[in-house]
Amino acid sequence: MPSPALIVSAVDLGRTFGEGPTAVHALQDVSIDFPTGGFTAIMGPSGSGKSTLVHLLAGLDRPTSGSVAIDGTELSGLDDGALTRLRRDRLGFVFQGFNLVPVLTAEENIVLPVTLAGREVDRPWFDLLVSTVGIGDRLSHRPAELSGGQQQRVAVARALIHHPAVVFADEPTGNLDSVASSEVLALLRRAADDFGQTIIMVTHDAGAASCADRLVVMADGRIVRDEDAGDTDAVLELMKSVAA
C-alpha cells in the first residue's frame, strides 16, 4: 500500500528571537513531515517551542533558518500577499480563544473564509459541517449567545468550510470543560477520518493527545520524541519519561 503524500514538510527549521547574548533560540534544527489525512498532537512544557513550530508551519511567522513547504509550495518564496492568500485558501485554524467575530452570527462566522476569498459557499458541504458539529439550531446566534463549547464547534466548522489542506489547532480545548472538550476532539478526529483533513494540534492535555494518531514531544526547541499516540495513560507515562 503506498505511503500517504506529505502535505507539510519542515527542514532544519530554526527560530531565534533577539540578538547577541540575550537571544532566545526558540526552535533549533527541527525537521518533520506530516502526511495527508493524519492527526498529529504536539506536546511539551511551556517554552519548549511547540507553538513556535506551529506558527512557522502555518506561515504565521517566518523562520530564522530552514524551510517549510505546504502542499509542495515553499513558503520562503512567497511575499506577504501570496502567503496571506495561501493561509486563507489552504489552511484552517482553531484557537484556544475561539477567535469568532462578535458582530457576526454563527453562520456568518462559519462561512467567513469563503466570503473573504470572494467564493460561493458550498452549501451541501456547509450543511454537512453544521450537522456534524451539531449547531444547526444556533446559526442565527452571535458568539455571546453561545456556550464555549458551541463557539468552539463553530470555530471547527469555520476551519473546515473551505476544504483546507491542513487544519492547525492551538490548544483547541484549553478553555472548555470536559464534555465540550470531548465533543471538539471528536470533531477533529472525524475531520481526519471522514473528511481526509490533516490535523496538527498543540495541546498540554494527555487526553486530547490520545485522540491523535501521532504524538510529537518537544523540549528546549527540539523534537525529543515522535511516535504513535497511545491512550491517555501511555501519553502521561511518555511525558514523565521526557521530563525525567
pLDDT at res. 117 = 85
pLDDT band at 1 (very low <50, low <70, confident <90, very high): very low
Which residue range forms the structural domain that includes residue 20?
Answer: 6-243
pLDDT value, residue 241:
81
Answer yes or no: are the C-beta atoms of 33 and 71 closer than 8 Å: no
pLDDT at site 187: 87
Domain count, the chain: 1
Report yes or no on 129 lying in a domain.
Answer: yes
Q: How high is the pLDDT of residue 2?
A: 43
Please determine, for residue 52, whether its predicted confidence score (pLDDT) is greater than 80.
yes
Residue 195 covered by a domain: yes
Q: Flag whether 1 is in a domain.
A: no
Q: Per the structure block, which three cell numbers stand in for 222?
A: 527540539
Whether the pLDDT of residue 243 is over 80: the answer is no
For 98-108, what is the mean pLDDT? 93
Per-residue pLDDT tens digits for 23-50? 889 999 999 999 999 999 999 988 899 9
> Comparing 52 with 239, which gets the higher pLDDT?
52
Q: Evaluate whether residue 122 is within a structural domain.
A: yes
Rounded to two decimals, what is the model's pTM?
Answer: 0.91
Residue 144 domain flag: yes
CA atoms within 13 A on the CB side of 217: 19
Question: pLDDT-based confidence at 4, cuts 50/70/90?
Answer: low
39 falls within a domain = yes
pLDDT of residue 193: 92
Average pLDDT of the residues in 151-176:
89
**Rounded average pLDDT over 55-76:** 92
CATH number for the domain harbouring residue 176: 3.40.50.300
pLDDT at 244: 64
Q: What is the pLDDT of residues 114-155, one digit of tens each?
A: 998 889 999 999 998 898 888 899 999 999 999 988 998 899
Backbone angles phi, psi at 9, to 5 degrees: -135, 135
DSSP string, the chain: -PPPPEEEEEEEEEEEES-GGG-EEEEEEEEEEEETT-EEEEE--TTSSHHHHHHHHTTSS--SEEEEEETTEEGGG--HHHHHHHHHHHEEEEETT----TTS-HHHHHTHHHHHTT----HHHHHHHHHHHT-GGGTT--GGGS-HHHHHHHHHHHHHTT--SEEEEESTTTTS-HHHHHHHHHHHHHHHHTT--EEEEE-S-HHHHTTSSEEEEEETTEEEEEEE---HHHHHHHHHHHH-
Q: How many CB atoms lie within 10 A of CB 96?
A: 17
Q: What percent of the chain has pLDDT over 90?
A: 59
**Is 66 inside a domain boundary?**
yes
pLDDT at residue 100, rounded to an integer: 93
Domain membership of residue 114 (yes or no) is yes
Nearest Cα neighbor of 39 from 197, 177, 182 is 197
Q: Is residue 3 predicted with pLDDT exceeding 60?
A: no
Q: What sign results for the dihedral spanned by CA atoms 102, 104, 106, 108?
A: negative
Angle CA(135)–CA(174)–CA(236) in degrees, nearest 5? 120
- Looking only at the bridges linking them, the beta strands covering 214-219 and 222-228 are antiparallel
